């Protein structure tokens, strides 16, 4: 089968690989119909993810059709159309028992990382019963691909951890795909204001169309002051960090209201300065989270009720043959205006 | 009347001052019977609290007898024995409406800071109806002094914010009075283990007597490794920071379990390094808080039920005449082994 | 001044009354600009509310202009435009300290009940600082009248107590003004389905326009079966009772899913049968609540953000001179199709 | 093997039965070392549990040693000492995903009900990986038997659902084994008062020894008045129903404070009168629950920390040979003063 293989920092290729086989009784083999590329895949290609070794098939998102199941799989059968979660969960360990699937002792984020992933014609899914979701009748495949990772990440790490509530004020720092996913899912809770902050006016335009009530281009270095002014000097109830660098995290520290929450989504490579000399008495909460995908059933229900249109995030479409072009397009988002790209397998 | 007055960095004196008078309709004048000294008073004397100007009577803790009430005070009358909260709360503003009394727009921590405090024969209490508590019949005055600040601080900022739960594992970094108050109140929730960390073996001995299940002297620089070993390499569900310096906060970062909470109590003077490169995917929560004293009714109930003995924290007793000696004793805790000192007015 | 006075069961009149005067330091006198009639006013007129004695001016909703303030009022001054809460709250008692204003020991629902109310040219508001809300600039007076009682009641007693969550399934039994208020505010949380149940097809048509995803006329006695079918035999996560009779409460018992919640809003006059022989092992929650209006600041924020249009509930308008006609219209809602009527003072 | 078999209403026998065999890949066979009898077993013998057919081996509690495991079992191996949960959970279905194991679509309470149970030399446990718990080193087997059902039932259905909190007031109606389990576990949260209500002075004496702060014999029909007096006419924050008849549930309705919770544990055979004409405006919560045993890991931690001694509940010991005597003793608790009986297999 064809597969996109990581070959070491800055190197990848579309290669021919053997079709995966059932390795454990709880495995399933899925024939991929649609997949996509994540910002994390670019991190891997920079060499920033040591757990991902050269030779690995990338990709942790997608939908497909069950091809084979191991003897202990009871919830799925060949022919079922399924959503693949980016997080594999055994359902048994101490973390799974707390619905903290991201820390599953034999799962977590392993697809396209420590085991082969979804940017291929077939993929092996461990712990299939608790890592796949049946596609609802009439569901749109492309919309569903957004439920593998990006929507639950924005929702869980940003919106739920950030305790977005009706009538509250939210700021989202970073209007890339993840920030926009937070923007779409924050609206489930009817906040009174959602302020979007980015350096790219194009992305801010997109944010405005997606429901932001105010947009701030932070290029002038005055974003904190602007946001304080927009909030009557109260600050925001929830500040969502969706970039992953010190400057954006520290912006969140400056704009969070007393009693508010900073919800970190960004993947950080270095420490940030936590200004406890200012914040120790501000009654704030800071959260971090690797997506658990515990909210996937909720997101499937909401998708089914048409209260969200995740396809808004899709800007480009490719076939698996042209996945290298897809990577080019996705990696140069500033010029291509790419958000999420769909790859048809 | 006699009063302990702050005269600028490192300067204080016991002076004669006029008795305070009702200034607003919601004020009460309280004749102090017992007060105490807080670590924050020492901070003021170092010049670290700019809101506290020379000439200020210090002190934000104490019990006493209502002497006079303004015309709008309805909950108290002269002769009532009362507990003074360290936090003054109007009960009306947007923060008080959220029970975030520490951020009351006309109150908060003002006693012995921006207005005259309790280390005197009399004190004026603004917003008396919502800043004083009637002493229950038969209550012990000295025990109650511990409810002005130190117990609600340990309980709210450490235990409640830290989400201590039955069966969980707790570490408290710092076995000074505040850390010990956290230790006493953490036991309301029956955690399975409470590990106490300090540099002072004497304080660790006290902690053991107060209910710590393990004690770690961090002088060898190996506290993190020791705690990980004690917890079977899982880390602690709750890490309470009760010192206020970067090293102790960063120790909390090292020992918090995935899904756990770091609850900061310490008053910090500088930024700390938040190692998001390690923590971004650990699903942790960090909280800060200035005590709201919203838990005072709860603490009064528990005190009344004899499930806690706050007098354990009291090591020395003085009269107001000798308050300068009390400061000496409290400021040299390493040699005097002082925890809380009672000053009888 | 003119005032609508309750004269005993089935008797009321528009009478001339003296303008109210400040009685306590915390009172304010409000010149009413707009008020409305509540279903509870009809209950009083049936003689069902013993605390309301003949001679009482009715009404507990409205907006107006501050005319005078007592000496202890600090948050409002004459000329301020204000929203009147149906619940008076002292802000000091043990219940107010828990934000349970409905049980305030010197307040609660007293307006137009145990003290004179708002269906008059002027009204005296006790505990003014904590029972009035400043009208935001540019706010619509008629929309705000819906925030005195009906919207917080639907929101707090139905939606918040019912724990409506994104993606969940909600049933609201009763499509009168209160049920419709629950329907409008339930949408703050993006449930996947909201099923509305009533006997009146006209009201169900209104419900459909207000956002119900399915409507069930329960006249055929098969509502429970229909709802189970609509939910794939799972039942609903939240069942909101907005009528107040045994049949509608017991319908909620039949349709609530395992793990779900029945949130009672209805004012009941008799006991209902709680079928614990069926429900003891179903892991359900049942809640009751008199509105606390603790959510009013939230609702003001949401109103300001235009995420809700409470004026949808207003069907008729009258002047105070014609308040008897307003009562006729409101009391015969089946024929007049009245929901809420605005009375201009 | 020997097994206690239900033979229809009022009929049971100790019979010889074939040793159970692995039927599904996720099964385990456990050699029972210790088991016990539950009040529910007596219900079955009265013919009150239609799902339990004649021929069934009774019992849903116990500890033992893993004898065999199915090929899909990964968490346990032969020789492991294990605690058997009374609730079997697949870990995969929509209810297990919400930690509502009691409603598992292929599990729940099935042991000794719809499949053969633990009052035998061996038992087959379905979904073994998610229905068994490894015995901690050094754990006491008899103490652990109390964690199969009775302690999690008292804790989850009574204490957690009842939201027992530090400083609160709790009433427990019924001082049988379940009520006493609620009493033991309520103390994890340090309530200020725990009032125990029963008709049997002997059981109230036991309750006093177990930590009740007040005991009320309800034989005089004045229990509600007595409890209101004990609580200063406020009522109790939490009322736990641990009997299962209308009179005791209605007592809870009479004594619950505004804002309080009634947590039902009792197995009811008929409807009760819910006095909504009194309760509609009292802001109360009522909960029902079949134990999920989701708290078992927590209880194991607490047991390990010696903060509870579940063996207090054990009054008698028998060998499996004499299980008919054990039933006699347990069924006549009023005269034998039996609480829990241990049966050694």
| Contact between residue D134 and residue D64 where contact means Cβ atoms under 8 Å apart | no
**Residue C94 in contact with partner chain B when CB distance is under 8 A:** yes
Query: Which chain D positions have a beta carbon within 8 Å of C285's beta carbon?
Result: 285-287
**Residue B139 in contact with partner chain A when CB distance is under 8 A:** no
pLDDT tens sequence across D107-127: 999 999 999 999 999 999 999
Give contacts of A 322-341 with B, CB under 8 A.
none
Out of B95, B281, B288, whose CB is closest to A276?
B288
| Chain C residue whose CA is closest to A231 | C301
pLDDT tens sequence across A256-275: 999 999 999 999 999 999 99
ipTM of the complex: 0.97
In eight-state DSSP terms, residue B320 is G
Residue A327 pLDDT exceeds 90: yes
Query: Quick one: pLDDT at residue B129?
Result: 97
Query: Quick one: pLDDT at residue C137?
Result: 87
**For chain B, which chains pass the contact test of at least 3 CB pairs under 8 Å?**
A, C, D
pLDDT band at B137, cuts 50/70/90? confident
Query: Quick one: pLDDT at residue B342?
Result: 98
Query: Quick one: pLDDT at residue A137?
Result: 87
pLDDT band at B151, cuts 50/70/90? very high
Query: Which chain C positions have a beta carbon within 8 Å of B92's beta carbon?
Result: 74-75, 91, 129-130
**Residue B297 in contact with partner chain D when CB distance is under 8 A:** yes
Out of D25, D96, D294, whose CB is closest to A71?
D25
Integer Cα distance of B172 and B239 in angstroms: 6
Residue B38 pLDDT exceeds 90: yes
Out of B166, B301, B305, whose CB is closest to D188?
B166
**Residue B288 in contact with partner chain A when CB distance is under 8 A:** yes
pLDDT band at D152, cuts 50/70/90? very high
Query: Quick one: pLDDT at residue D211?
Result: 97
pLDDT tens sequence across B284-331: 999 999 999 999 999 999 999 999 999 999 999 999 999 999 999 999
D209: exposed, middle or buried (Cβ count in 10 Å: 0-12, 13-18, 19+): exposed
Query: Quick one: pLDDT at residue C194?
Result: 98
Out of D26, D97, D130, whose CB is closest to A72?
D26
**For chain D, which chains pass the contact test of at least 3 CB pairs under 8 Å?**
A, B, C
Asked whether the beta carbons of residue D74 and residue A96 sit closer than 8 angstroms, the reply is: no
Integer Cα distance of C60 and C37 in angstroms: 8
Out of B25, B74, B97, whose CB is closest to C297?
B97
Whole-number CA gyration radius for chain C: 20
SS3 content of chain D, % helix, strand, coil (to 5): 30, 25, 40
pLDDT tens sequence across C256-299: 999 999 999 999 999 999 999 999 999 999 999 999 999 999 99
Residue D275 pLDDT exceeds 90: yes
pLDDT band at D6, cuts 50/70/90? very high
Residue that is written with structure tokens 């996705």 in the block? A330
As beta bridge partners, residue D314 has: D340
The SS3 of residue B70 is coil
Integer Cα distance of C318 and C338 in angstroms: 12
Average pLDDT, whole number, for chain A?
97
Residue that is written with structure tokens 């002297």 in the block? B217
| Chain C residue whose CA is closest to D292 | C283
In eight-state DSSP terms, residue A115 is B
Asked whether the beta carbons of residue B26 and residue C91 sit closer than 8 angstroms, the reply is: no
| Contact between residue C99 and residue C51 where contact means Cβ atoms under 8 Å apart | no
Q: In D128-217, where do the E strands start and end?
A: 132-134, 169-173, 193-198, 214-217
Out of C267, C274, C290, whose CB is closest to D272?
C274
Query: Which chain B positions have a beta carbon within 8 Å of C294's beta carbon?
Result: 97
CA distance D245 to chain C (A): 9
Asked whether the beta carbons of residue D130 and residue A91 sit closer than 8 angstroms, the reply is: yes
Query: Quick one: pLDDT at residue A207?
Result: 98
| Contact between residue A241 and residue A262 where contact means Cβ atoms under 8 Å apart | yes
| Chain B residue whose CA is closest to A162 | B285
CA distance D276 to chain C (A): 5
Asked whether the beta carbons of residue B305 and residue D213 sit closer than 8 angstroms, the reply is: yes
State the average pLDDT over residues B228-241: 98
Give contacts of D 225-254 with C, CB under 8 A.
244, 249
Out of A26, A91, A96, whose CB is closest to D72?
A26
**Residue A299 in contact with partner chain D when CB distance is under 8 A:** no
Out of C102, C287, C290, whose CB is closest to D285?
C287
Asked whether the beta carbons of residue A286 and residue B281 sit closer than 8 angstroms, the reply is: no
| Chain A residue whose CA is closest to B286 | A286
pLDDT band at A6, cuts 50/70/90? very high
Out of B25, B130, B297, whose CB is closest to C92?
B130
Integer Cα distance of D202 and C20 in angstroms: 62
Which of B280, B287, B293 should be substituted to probe chain A, the one whose Cβ sees the most A Cβ atoms within 10 Å?
Answer: B280
pLDDT tens sequence across B52-69: 999 999 999 999 999 999
In eight-state DSSP terms, residue A25 is T
b/e sequence D113-144, b meaning 16+ C-beta within 10 Å: bebbbbbbbbbbbbbbbbbbbebeeebebbbb
**Residue A80 in contact with partner chain C when CB distance is under 8 A:** no
| Contact between residue A36 and residue A60 where contact means Cβ atoms under 8 Å apart | no
Asked whether the beta carbons of residue A189 and residue C192 sit closer than 8 angstroms, the reply is: no
- Hey, how many other C-beta atoms are within 10 angstroms of the C-beta on A137? 7
Query: Quick one: pLDDT at residue B92?
Result: 94
Residue B173 pLDDT exceeds 90: yes
Instruction: Quote the tokens at residue B42.
Output: 């020492």
As beta bridge partners, residue D167 has: none
**Residue B217 in contact with partner chain D when CB distance is under 8 A:** no
Query: Which chain D positions have a beta carbon within 8 Å of C149's beta carbon?
Result: none
pLDDT band at A328, cuts 50/70/90? very high
Query: Quick one: pLDDT at residue D137?
Result: 87
Query: Quick one: pLDDT at residue C109?
Result: 98
- Closest by alpha carbon to A78, among A121, A30, A122? A30
Residue A62 pLDDT exceeds 90: yes
Query: Quick one: pLDDT at residue D241?
Result: 98
Average pLDDT, whole number, for chain C?
97
Distances (CA, A) of D311 to A131, B45, D306, D339: 41, 55, 12, 11
Query: Quick one: pLDDT at residue D238?
Result: 98
| Chain C residue whose CA is closest to A296 | C167
| pTM exceeds cut of 0.95 | yes
pLDDT, averaged per 10 consecutive residues of chain C (345 residues), comes to 97 98 96 97 94 97 98 96 98 96 98 98 98 94 98 98 98 98 98 98 97 97 98 98 98 98 97 98 98 97 93 97 98 95 97
| Chain D residue whose CA is closest to C269 | D277
Asked whether the beta carbons of residue B74 and residue C92 sit closer than 8 angstroms, the reply is: yes
In eight-state DSSP terms, residue A245 is S
**For chain A, which chains pass the contact test of at least 3 CB pairs under 8 Å?**
B, C, D
| Chain C residue whose CA is closest to B25 | C72
**Residue D307 in contact with partner chain B when CB distance is under 8 A:** yes
Residue A132 pLDDT exceeds 90: yes
Integer Cα distance of A204 and A214 in angstroms: 9
pLDDT tens sequence across D47-97: 989 999 999 999 999 999 999 999 999 999 999 999 999 999 999 999 999
Residue A242 pLDDT exceeds 90: yes
- Closest by alpha carbon to C262, among C252, C247, C274, C275? C252
Average pLDDT, whole number, for chain B?
97
């Amino acid at each position: 089968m064809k597969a996109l293989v990581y070959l070491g920092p800055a190197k990848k290729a579309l290669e021919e690989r053997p079709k995966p086989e059932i390795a454990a009784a709880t495995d399933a083999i899925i024939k991929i119909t649609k997949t996509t590329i994540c910002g994390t895949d670019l991190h891997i290609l920079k060499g920033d993810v040591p757990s991902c070794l050269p030779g690995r098939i990338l990709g942790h998102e997608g939908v497909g059709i069950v091809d084979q199941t191991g003897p202990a799989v009871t919830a799925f059968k060949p022919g079922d159309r399924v959503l693949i979660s980016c997080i594999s969960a055994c359902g048994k360990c101490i973390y799974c028992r707390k619905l903290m699937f991201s820390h599953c002792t034999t799962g977590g984020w392993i697809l396209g990382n420590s085991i082969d992933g979804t940017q291929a014609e077939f993929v092996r899914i461990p712990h299939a019963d608790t890592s796949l979701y049946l596609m609802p009748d009439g569901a749109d495949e492309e919309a569903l691909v957004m439920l593998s990772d990006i929507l639950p990440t924005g929702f869980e790490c940003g919106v739920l951890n950030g305790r977005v509530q009706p009538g509250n004020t939210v700021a989202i720092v970073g209007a890339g795909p993840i920030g926009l996913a937070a923007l779409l899912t924050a609206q489930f809770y009817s906040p009174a204001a959602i302020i979007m902050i980015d350096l790219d006016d194009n992305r801010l335009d997109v944010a405005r169309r997606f429901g932001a009530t105010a947009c701030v281009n932070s290029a002038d270095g005055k974003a904190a002051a602007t946001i304080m002014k927009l909030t009557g000097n109260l600050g925001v109830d929830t500040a969502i960090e969706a970039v992953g660098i010190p400057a954006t995290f520290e912006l969140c520290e400056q704009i969070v209201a007393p009693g508010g929450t900073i919800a970190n989504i960004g993947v950080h490579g270095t420490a940030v300065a936590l200004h406890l000399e200012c914040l120790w008495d501000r009654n704030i909460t800071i959260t971090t989270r690797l997506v658990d995908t515990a909210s996937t059933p909720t997101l499937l229900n909401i998708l089914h009720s048409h209260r969200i249109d995740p396809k808004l995030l899709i800007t480009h479409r490719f076939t698996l043959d042209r996945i290298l072009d897809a990577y080019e397009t996705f990696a140069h988002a500033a010029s291509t205006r790419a958000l999420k790209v769909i790859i048809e397998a």
